[in-house]
Amino acid sequence: MDVFSNLAHGFQTALSLQNIYLCFIGCLWGTMVGVLPGIGPLAGITLLIPATFGLDATGAIIMLAGIYYGAMYGGSTTSILMNVPGESASVVTCIDGYQMTLKGRGGAALFISAWGSFIGGTLSIAGLMVLAPTLADFAMKFGPPEMFAVLLVAFVLLGSLGSGSFFRTMPMVFMGLLIGAIGMDPLTGSLRFTHNVPDLYDGIGLLPVAMGAMGVGEILIATEESLLRIIHKVKLRELLPTRDELRASWGPIFRGSGIGFA
């Protein structure tokens, strides 16, 4: 009963008009930050922390949480429309989202992305509030052997489910593993494959690699074809997904929510 009484008190505090307003402002600012490629939610929170200095602790936390979630969603905008991931969590969105943009369904992709982000975030937060003690006990028992087993299964799945033959996919997997090994070891502090270059001490992040692999080519193509493009007027109805698109999105949204929560 203590859990539900604490939840009721938390909802009573969070649903006040002032905190709802702060949440809205935080989500708006976070979305604007997330659209900018390369900044990410953590950098966005760092830049906007001074805006919370005059607030109480509860309002500041709610506003910072809104900035974080807004930045996480905002990264999907450039991924869908420009094939340039705004932050690392939006890299996979480029695969299908940009293809919908090329077919003239970019607005529908943005709507589905927003709807999926809302459902996934709501279900994950609700599950975390209820199952937080159980998950904490499970996390304490999850040691290096279990982590090694999970990573090994992930590499095997990448090799078996990747496009093309197994012998073409696995070299790319090992290349990514070698790139990820660059930098300082988090346990021993020893440097790996840095060659005395200080910029490599922190490793090579996923976002710069994704932006270079996906975004640079698309930007060059857009620059070359900018003078040849014709701007058409788009009706608001065309920006909304069809019934078939909504029906097809329900399954992936709930599967993604479960995988993300796990």
Asked if residue 1 has pLDDT above 60, the reply is no
Say how many Å lie between the first and final Cα of the chain, rounded: 25
Asked if residue 42 has pLDDT above 80, the reply is no
Rg (C-alpha) for the chain, rounded Å, is: 21
Q: Which of 5-19, 21-35, 130-144 has the highest mean pLDDT?
A: 21-35
The better pLDDT of the pair 21, 198 is held by 21
Asked if residue 230 has pLDDT above 60, the reply is no
- pLDDT confidence of residue 57: 86
- pLDDT confidence of residue 3: 67
- pLDDT confidence of residue 134: 81
> Quick one: which of 262, 33, 4 has its CA closest to 130?
4
Question: Residue range 88-111: average pLDDT?
Answer: 81
Query: Lowest mean pLDDT: which of 25-39, 112-126, 194-208?
Result: 194-208
> Quick one: which of 145, 144, 166, 168 has its CA closest to 157?
166
**Where do the H-state alpha helices sit in the chain?**
2-14, 17-35, 40-48, 57-82, 93-102, 106-140, 144-161, 166-180, 206-210, 216-225, 243-261
- pLDDT confidence of residue 218: 65
Asked if residue 237 has pLDDT above 70, the reply is no
- pLDDT confidence of residue 207: 66
